[in-house]
């Protein structure tokens, strides 16, 4: 199968074996870093999402390793799409410590936080990272505390970019899913906000920094989801709630009150 054929291959990956299967998967990875949003988003990612559940474990691990390596790719679209693909791999049942290490190193350090670029299309590093956090939160045996800590690290990292494509909503939804982990204690459901509380408390008068505005808006949405419950689109699942609603609400309200002293 030549490259042009493998690039447009939309059939069942399970029908391919040997060199043909390897070539198609290699081309898939290449296309997932394409600067062309049609090739990357509308074609390659759609194929990846369809194929991942039916790949064997060896192929999923290979693909996961390639995505983890993409976190150091010089091309922003490659870095930003890696967590989205890894989220689908996690949903298929696979998650490895080295993938977490690569993701945890990249997520708070990423400086290109644009939601959309006129030429590159959707980038959405923060939102795609949030999707991976949400997926990992459901992986059996996963400790939820490091996920909360990584989300906070992303929020508190200084940036000049103000979220403009509902990244705050996506991250709040991921946080709500993490906080619904039944293994969390009431104290853990509140303690993860301590660094945010301290950052708000030591803030200085003047224009609100972008990181602070991003954090405020994320926590406000999280308060709504914690109070009212939340759902996951297109899953058919009902309304879910966080494990320790009162503790989480009290911690959120106390943290937000620092920057909104008029709140009750």
Distance, CA of 72 to CA of 38 (rounded, Å): 23
Distance, CA of 171 to CA of 213 (rounded, Å): 14
pLDDT at residue 5, as a whole number: 45
Distance, CA of 25 to CA of 21 (rounded, Å): 6
pLDDT tens per residue, range 7-54: 667 778 988 889 999 999 999 999 999 999 999 999 999 999 999 999
Distance, CA of 245 to CA of 117 (rounded, Å): 38
Alpha carbons within 13 angstroms on the beta-carbon side of residue 142 total 25
Task: Count how many residues are written for the chain.
Answer: 264
Distance, CA of 178 to CA of 222 (rounded, Å): 11
pLDDT tens per residue, range 42-100: 999 999 999 999 999 999 999 999 999 999 999 999 999 999 999 999 999 999 999 99
Mean pLDDT of the chain: 94
212-238 mean pLDDT:
91
152-175 mean pLDDT:
98
pLDDT at residue 101, as a whole number: 98
pLDDT at residue 3, as a whole number: 45
For residue 201, pLDDT over 60 is answered with yes
Torsion of CA 188, 189, 191, 195, to 10 degrees: 130
- What's the pTM value of the predicted model, to 2 decimals? 0.94
- pLDDT-derived band at 6 (thresholds 50, 70, 90) equals very low
Burial class (CB in 10 A: 0-12, 13-18, 19+), 16: middle
Q: Note every long-range contact of 46-55, with CB atoms under 8 Å and residues 24 or more positions apart, other chains counting.
A: 47/9, 47/10, 48/85, 48/88, 49/88, 51/13, 52/85, 52/88, 52/89, 52/91, 52/92, 53/88, 53/91, 53/92, 54/12, 54/13, 54/14, 55/13, 55/92
* Location of structure tokens 């990244």: 167
- pLDDT-derived band at 178 (thresholds 50, 70, 90) equals very high
What are the DSSP calls for 96-108, one per residue? Answer: -HHHHHHHHHHTT
Tokens of residue 11, six digits: 């059939």
pLDDT at residue 259, as a whole number: 95
pLDDT at residue 28, as a whole number: 95
- pLDDT-derived band at 192 (thresholds 50, 70, 90) equals very high
């Amino acid at each position: 199968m030549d490259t042009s054929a493998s690039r447009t291959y939309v059939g069942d990956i399970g029908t391919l074996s040997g060199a043909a299967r390897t070539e198609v998967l290699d081309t898939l990875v290449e296309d997932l870093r394409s600067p062309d949003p049609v090739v990357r988003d509308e074609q390659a990612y759609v194929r990846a999402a369809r194929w991942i559940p039916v790949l064997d474990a060896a192929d999923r691990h290979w693909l996961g390793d390639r995505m983890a390596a993409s976190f150091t790719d010089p091309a922003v679209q490659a870095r930003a799409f890696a967590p989205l693909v890894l989220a689908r791999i996690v949903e298929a049942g696979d998650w490895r410590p080295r993938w977490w290490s690569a993701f945890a190193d990249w997520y708070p350090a990423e400086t290109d936080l644009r939601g959309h670029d006129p030429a590159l299309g959707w980038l959405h590093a923060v939102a795609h990272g949030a999707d991976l956090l949400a997926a990992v939160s459901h992986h059996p045996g996963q400790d939820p505390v490091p996920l909360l800590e990584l989300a906070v690290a992303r929020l508190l990292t200084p940036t000049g970019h103000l979220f403009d494509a509902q990244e705050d909503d996506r991250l709040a939804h991921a946080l709500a899913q993490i906080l619904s982990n039944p293994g969390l204690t009431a104290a853990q459901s509140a303690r993860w906000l301590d660094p945010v509380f301290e950052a708000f408390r030591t803030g200085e008068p003047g224009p609100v920094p972008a990181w602070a505005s991003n954090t405020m808006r994320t926590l406000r949405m999280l308060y709504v989801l914690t109070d009212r419950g939340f759902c996951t689109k297109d899953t058919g699942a009902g309304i879910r709630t966080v494990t320790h609603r009162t503790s989480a609400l009290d911690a959120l309200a106390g943290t937000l009150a620092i920057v909104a002293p008029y709140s009750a």
